[in-house]
Structure 1
Amino acid sequence: MSARTAPATIEKSRRLVIKIGSALLVDGQTGQLRATWLEALAKDVARLKARGTQVILVSSGAIAMGLEPLGFDRRPARLEEAQAAASVGQIRLAQAYQSLFGTEGMVIGQILLTIHDLENRPSYLNARNTVEALIERGVIPVINENDTVATAEIRFGDNDRLAARVAQMANADTLILLSDIDGLYECDPRENANARFLDCVEAITPEIEAMAGPPAAITPGTGGMITKLKAAKIALAGGCSMIIMNGHADHPVTRLEHGERSTLFPATTDPLTVRKQWITSLMAPKGFIHVDAGAVKALRRGASLLPAGVTEVDGSFNRGDLVAFVGPDGHIVGQGLTSYSAEHAALMQGHTMQDAYEVLGHVGRSALVHRNDLVLM
């Protein structure tokens, strides 16, 4: 099987993000949860998890789940009414996920985000670390837009882009967009029955973008092919492949693995490589962390930078800033994004991570600089 197919892409993926559209979760006629469908998806995710694949869900549906209880027969135009629907629907949605995924022995952890949370550096780091902590403990993160407080975020197409940003943040290998269409056609198949289907898109060119057509009409779920191509650009930039498929029938992931029609946007590199290349390209460290010979050896073996090997901290930097590592001979041996401010790094100098609570008064991160956030020169 060619690596440029959806089944092969899923099989080799270490971490999957699955985006679930409102139209799949909620029956557009009754406004009720499609519980049988969600139960089948839970079985798909349980099977992936059992074979060692890490899964993150990005779910729409809060507003759609809140329409019927509030007496709306369609998505309201007024922002405050949409936010009210989200407030009611979010509770129902979370209950449904935990109930149905719990029957498969899975624990759900909910994270509410807006796009602005992923553009603010401290919030971004907090979200990323929370996702990592949940996955380390075998929990399935379910990430939703925080529609109860969002303003501009409640608009056409943001859920697709949010899913791509989450995939990028989480260093996912593959993003699956479960949609109400099976993929990309050269033109609208509803208007041209002979429209050619594209099962693999190697590059998003202007010609490919022209195939997307106009935005979709507003329904219980919002979006269209244009937003999915924008999501693909975000995912690919992070080294994450993306797949679009029609997820309406039960067991969408199983069907995808068995070769059901979809459009694959294959990444040309992997997420960690992209991240390391970006860190390598950064040119202005905010500070310097001096380390001993033992720390240098550990870094060269692929370890994270731990405070026990730190001998001195120079500069003024905050969590998430770029810092350079200086070896005992005075030469820079690497650089990375610190998990601690200069003040806290200096306090932790010479200590183990287990001392963080005693030294800082709160539980610390797992390393001064995580191995995924550093490069060696």
Structure 2
Amino acid sequence: MSKKKRIVVKIGSSLLANEEKLTLRYAFMNGLMADLGDLQDQGYEIILTSSGSVALGLNMIGKRPEEAGILDKQAAAACGQPLLMNAYRQVANEYNFDVAQMLVTVEDMEERRRFLNIKNTMLRLFENQILPIINENDSIATRDLKVGDNDRLSAKVAQMVEADHLIILTSVEGLYDRDPSEPGAQFIEEIEDVSEHLESTKSISELGSGGMLTKMLAANMAQNAGVETIIADGIIERPISSVLNNERRHTRCLASGKAASPLMIWLSNRLQVAGTLVVTDEAVRAITAKERGLQRDDLVSIQGEFSKGDVLHVYDEQGNEFARGLTNFSSEETILMARNPEMEIEDVIGYKTKSAVVGAENILILEDHHLQLDAPEEDDKPVISL
């Protein structure tokens, strides 16, 4: 039996909620769910990442989007999420399939064990032909902890389940080389390397709250995970199958085709920085050549508080990120080991363990198609020199 096709579909709040009345657009929801039901009958496994809870809940607390603060939005999410899921369930029932709700935070996606637990839950839902509907848990998320946008959340989910396609439905047909309202704007039908288009999309912000840049960032994350991304207009009739069958115009960001282990893919697409390390130039050469892991003698400075198993971003002395990896120690243990190089590690931290701060098997060397993050400012988290 051939492997089933997996699709992650991302829907923004502008497609689900009437901007003025802050009520559900049932015509779009019906068209969407009818299409998803047909695709499930054809053997597709589908995950829906859906915004909309905040917009729907604002009516209940008497706030408009432009005046709502973070606490208002958290309360609105708590009010709107049951309304949204009830509507999805009722419409899905009309097309003879069931839905399940999953709410996540950035910590759920960045911590390896939670990440795998979410994946296993989704796979079990697939086995029972139930459509998972996933959203960020906006009622408890803060500015510091938010995934940031459901575009990138959908890319993380696509990476998680090793999807074939990530389909982002929005308010225009796809990507243009500039703001589509400008004269002479050219439509881009196919993209081989998403990273080449990120700079040009920074000024294109007509698409919902996230803008085109966040959609391209999501496409870059998906591309690094071997997932093809489709950006298309959220029409009412057959919004998904029509682009899968190339029946209407859309932008298709091709999968990179580069095989990587699930762990390396997970390391490459980060939403939050737990901590950073700066290492010597000699260490950069050895680690990049995959001769060894990252040792305590390599460290120049440490920034951030992290725990064993967190993902650290590794920089050279010029401030360029060149690697990411899973740490074997907490930040406190790492500082103690680096400051006492003459002592055995067991004597410093009180137990026997591997000597590498980050083992070679748990290091990802960044390539041109990966998005490198600028080193955090010292004002954000103190830098500890070693």
What TM-score comes out, normalization by structure 2 length?
0.64
* Native 8 Å contact 2:48 2:132 kept in 1: yes
Uncovered stretches (5+) of structure 1, i.e. residues with no partner:
1-11, 285-317, 320-377
Amino acid at match of 2:175: L
Cα 1:46/1:62, change in 2 over 3 Å: same
SS across alignment from 1:211: helix
**Cα distance in 2 for residues equivalent to 1:155 and 1:190:** 31
- State which of 217, 221, 227 in structure 1 corresponds to 2:214: 227
Cα 1:124/1:204, change in 2 over 3 Å: same
Amino acid at match of 2:216: L
1:159 matched to 2:146:
no
SS across alignment from 1:147: coil
Cα 1:154/1:96, change in 2 over 3 Å: farther
How far did 1:154 drift?
8.0
SS across alignment from 2:116: helix
Partner of 1:117: 108
User: Which deviations, in whole Å up to 9, do the C-alpha atoms of 1:8-42 show, x marking residues without a partner?
Assistant: xxxx9710000000000001121110112111111
Task: Please tell me the root mean square deviation across aligned C-alpha atoms, in Å.
Answer: 2.7
SS across alignment from 1:52: coil
- State which of 48, 53, 62 in structure 2 corresponds to 1:57: 48
Cα 1:76/1:115, change in 2 over 3 Å: farther
SS across alignment from 1:110: strand
Identity %: 36
1:59-208 mapped onto 2 (5 Å cutoff): 59-152=50-143, 158-192=149-183, 194-206=184-196, 208=197
Amino acid at match of 1:142: I
* Native 8 Å contact 1:235 1:242 kept in 2: yes
**Cα distance in 2 for residues equivalent to 1:92 and 1:153:** 27
Uncovered stretches (5+) of structure 2, i.e. residues with no partner:
266-289, 294-307, 310-386
* Native 8 Å contact 1:114 1:153 kept in 2: no
| Paired positions, count | 268
Partner of 1:367: none
**Cα distance in 1 for residues equivalent to 2:15 and 2:79:** 19
**Cα distance in 1 for residues equivalent to 2:15 and 2:123:** 27
User: Which deviations, in whole Å up to 9, do the C-alpha atoms of 1:27-63 show, x marking residues without a partner?
Assistant: 1121110112111111100111111011110001110
User: Which deviations, in whole Å up to 9, do the C-alpha atoms of 1:178-236 show, x marking residues without a partner?
Assistant: 111211111111122x2110000111244x2232132637x9x5111110111011101
- State which of 179, 200, 206 in structure 2 corresponds to 1:211: 200
Partner of 2:39: 48
Amino acid at match of 2:78: S
What TM-score comes out, normalization by structure 1 length?
0.66
**Cα distance in 2 for residues equivalent to 1:224 and 1:191:** 16
Amino acid at match of 1:197: F
**Cα distance in 1 for residues equivalent to 2:263 and 2:19:** 45
